[in-house]
């Protein structure tokens, strides 16, 4: 049997905050110097969903079927994504055929699915709902770590509460290590949650990373003799450039039309009074709109959806290609835009129904509110982190061009499991020459993803939406 594998995820971790203070982070320094590391290119967009599912399955968003925490129904209402909406088989299902696994706090895993071992669901798990497999494991967690279920909620405006949540999750990780699983995958959200706080600046980040480093030191000590990976789904940056308001841009160029003037003025006044974002779904005049944007605003990337006839209830566009070409041309000529891509050129797969038609990157934070609103400086960036260390890992090596879809096939190859042929990534060149791990990769026909049964209620939908709102995503 291969050596045990421990994968630690830090949501939003970036080498931009690690390397400048590396001498203050002995655990990170040890893993980097005595292992292999490199920047990890995230999904487009670099958002928690689809990034963690993409890492877990090795699939791009066009195969996963998700672009964001939400997608828009044909009547312009929103549906919050859960695990039943995500296609693809995560690496732990393949690994679970041979080994015992423990998976915890990975976004996109609610409702819980059967595994050979233990699973604890991640963010947006609705309050009061089942969150473990096996079901009775929840009671065991509550006995060991009272109040653990409360960690699924947001920490509010107080950054100190992020650390309280982190401490409880660290207790769970330590408990799972004692369960003696062959493969452990645990995600901490501390850098992302901390960085999104409006009171936090770049100067506050070293303390956050020192806290992470102390925890990492404990994990290394408890996992002696194992292979260890440290990963993140995307990076983070504090961007001082002017924000880009996508729907306002579309409106000014005639691609988006809002409802009647009286309603518009009333909603504008309400928006200004409450300083709340006014979103597209209750303001759009679908019959006169050619395109709009609605993705969550926490990065410099954004999607544009063509209001196609047959795709949306009031779809007004028959010539999709013509509208796409026109918007791409206009965006490309805007000095606030860095690059524009047609979705057809970057996504592949059969699950693209809810994906946008255009993806673009602005110089500053991109927002999809209808009117300009209050903004935050802390946003997601394209590159996360990859670090590997252990008996089977090359020492002192830095790799380039690693992609988030490479993680799942790398994990499987490390475990001696053939890589499914539908994965978009490939195993990274990180292995020590004398480890016995073959450089030749063996592939196998991919298993068909089992469709998770949706168990959500209207109340669950509202609770999930509220969680995203508390986290500052909507």
Distances (CA, A) of 420 to 305, 309, 357, 410, 447: 32, 37, 28, 11, 7
Residue-level pLDDT at 280 = 64
- Cα separation, 326 vs 306, in Å, equals 11
Alpha helices (runs of H) in 115-204, residue ranges in sequence order: 137-144, 160-177, 190-196
pLDDT digits (tens, 9 = 90+) for 280-313: 666 788 899 999 999 876 889 999 999 999 999 9
Q: What would the pLDDT profile of 185-226 be if each residue is shown by its tens digit? A: 999 999 998 887 777 788 999 999 999 999 999 999 999 999
| Domains along the sequence of the chain with CATH | 5-239+378-470 (3.40.720.10), 244-367 (no CATH)
Give the Cα separation of 364 and 359 in Å (integer): 15
Q: Which residue has the tokens 């998976």?
A: 103
- The CA distance from 96 to 82, in Å, is 22
Beta strands 235-238; 378-381: pairing state: antiparallel
Sort strands 78-80 and 70-72 into parallel, antiparallel or unpaired: antiparallel
Looking up tokens 């079901």 gives 135
Token readout for 186 is 């645990």
Task: Tell me the angle at which helices 48-57 and 407-414 cross, rounded to the nearest 10 degrees.
Answer: 30
User: Distance from CA of residue 433 to its chain's centroid?
Assistant: 33
d(CA 286, CA 283): 9
Ranges of beta strands (E only) in 276-394 are: 291-292, 301-306, 337-342, 358-362, 366-367, 378-381, 383-389
Judged by DSSP in three states, 242 sits in: coil
Q: What average pLDDT does this structure show over 140-163?
A: 81
- For the chain, the distance separating the N- and C-terminal CA atoms, rounded to the nearest angstrom, is 46
- At residue 183, the 3 state secondary structure works out as strand
> Dihedral, CA atoms, 129, 131, 132, 136, nearest 10 degrees?
-30
| CA 446/CA 292 separation, integer angstroms | 36
Assigned token pair, 214: 């102390």
CB 318 within 8 A of CB 277: no
d(CA 33, CA 15): 14
User: What pTM was estimated for this model as a whole?
Assistant: 0.94
What does the alpha-carbon distance between residue 10 and residue 92 come to, in Å, rounded to a whole number? 18
Q: For the chain, what percent of residues have pLDDT higher than 70?
A: 92
Quote the pLDDT of residue 473.
72
Looking at residue 85, what DSSP letter applies? G
Where residue 147 falls (left for φ over 0; alpha for ψ -120 to 50; beta otherwise) is left
If you ran DSSP here, which 8-state letter would residue 206 be given?
H
Strand 36-41 to 383-389 pairing? antiparallel
Q: Quick one: which of 253, 248, 249, 245 has its CA closest to 264?
A: 248
- What distance in Å separates the CA atoms of residue 125 and residue 108, rounded to the nearest whole number? 9
Q: How far is CA 338 from the centre of its chain?
A: 22
Residue 469 tokens, joined: 């709102």
pLDDT at 78: 87
d(CA 263, CA 152): 37
Find out whether 240 and 377 touch, Cβ atoms under 8 Å: yes
What is the per-residue pLDDT across 403-423, written as a single tens digit (0 to 9) for each? 999 999 999 999 999 999 999
Strand, helix or coil for residue 179: coil
d(CA 110, CA 86): 10
Residue 47 has pLDDT above 60, yes or no: yes
pLDDT digits (tens, 9 = 90+) for 222-278: 999 999 999 999 999 998 888 999 999 999 999 999 887 655 665 666 566 555 555
pLDDT interval class at 14 (50, 70, 90): very high
Q: Taking all residues of the chain, what is their mean pLDDT, rounded to a whole number?
A: 90
């Amino acid at each position: 049997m291969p050596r045990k594998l421990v994968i630690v995820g830090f949501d939003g971790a970036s080498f931009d905050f690690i390397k400048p203070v590396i001498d203050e982070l002995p655990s990170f320094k040890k893993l980097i110097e005595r292992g292999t590391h490199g920047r990890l290119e995230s999904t487009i967009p670099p958002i928690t969903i689809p990034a963690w599912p993409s890492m877990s399955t090795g699939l791009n968003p066009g195969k996963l079927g998700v672009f964001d925490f939400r997608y828009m129904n044909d009547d312009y209402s929103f549906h919050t994504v859960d695990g039943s909406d995500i296609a693809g088989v995560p690496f732990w299902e393949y690994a679970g055929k041979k080994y015992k696994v423990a998976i915890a706090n990975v976004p996109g895993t609610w409702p819980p699915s059967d595994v050979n071992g233990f699973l604890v669901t991640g963010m947006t798990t609705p309050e009061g709902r089942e969150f473990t497999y096996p079901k009775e494991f929840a009671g065991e967690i509550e006995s060991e770590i009272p109040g653990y279920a409360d960690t699924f909620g947001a920490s509010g405006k107080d950054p100190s509460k992020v650390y309280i949540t982190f401490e409880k999750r660290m207790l769970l990780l330590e408990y799972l290590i004692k369960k003696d699983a062959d493969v452990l995958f645990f995600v901490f959200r501390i850098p992302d949650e901390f960085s999104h706080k409006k009171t936090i600046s770049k100067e506050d980040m070293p303390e956050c990373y020192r806290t992470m480093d102390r925890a990492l030191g404990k994990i290394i000590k408890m996992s002696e003799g194992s292979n260890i990976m440290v990963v993140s789904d995307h990076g983070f940056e504090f961007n001082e450039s002017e924000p880009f308001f996508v729907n306002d841009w579309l409106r000014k160029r005639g691609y988006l039309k809002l409802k009647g003037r009286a309603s518009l003025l009333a909603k504008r006044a309400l928006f200004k009074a409450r300083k709340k974002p006014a979103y597209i779904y209750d303001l759009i005049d679908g019959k006169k709109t050619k395109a709009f944007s609605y993705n969550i605003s926490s990065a410099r990337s954004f999607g544009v959806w063509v209001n196609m006839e047959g795709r949306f209830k009031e779809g007004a566009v028959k010539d999709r290609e013509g509208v796409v070409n026109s918007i791409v041309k206009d965006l490309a000529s805007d000095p606030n835009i860095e690059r524009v891509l047609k979705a057809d050129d970057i996504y592949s797969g059969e699950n693209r129904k809810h994906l946008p038609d255009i993806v673009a990157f602005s110089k500053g934070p991109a927002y999809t509110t209808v009117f300009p609103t209050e903004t935050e400086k802390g946003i997601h960036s394209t590159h996360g982190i990859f670090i590997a260390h252990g008996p089977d890992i090359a020492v002192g090596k830095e790799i380039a061009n690693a992609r988030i879809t490479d993680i799942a096939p790398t994990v499987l190859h490390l475990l001696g499991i053939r890589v499914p042929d539908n994965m978009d990534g490939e195993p990274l060149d990180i292995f020590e020459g004398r480890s016995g791990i073959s450089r030749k990769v063996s592939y196998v026909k991919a298993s068909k993803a089992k469709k998770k049964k949706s168990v959500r209620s209207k109340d669950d939908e509202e609770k999930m939406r509220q969680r995203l709102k508390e986290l500052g995503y909507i």
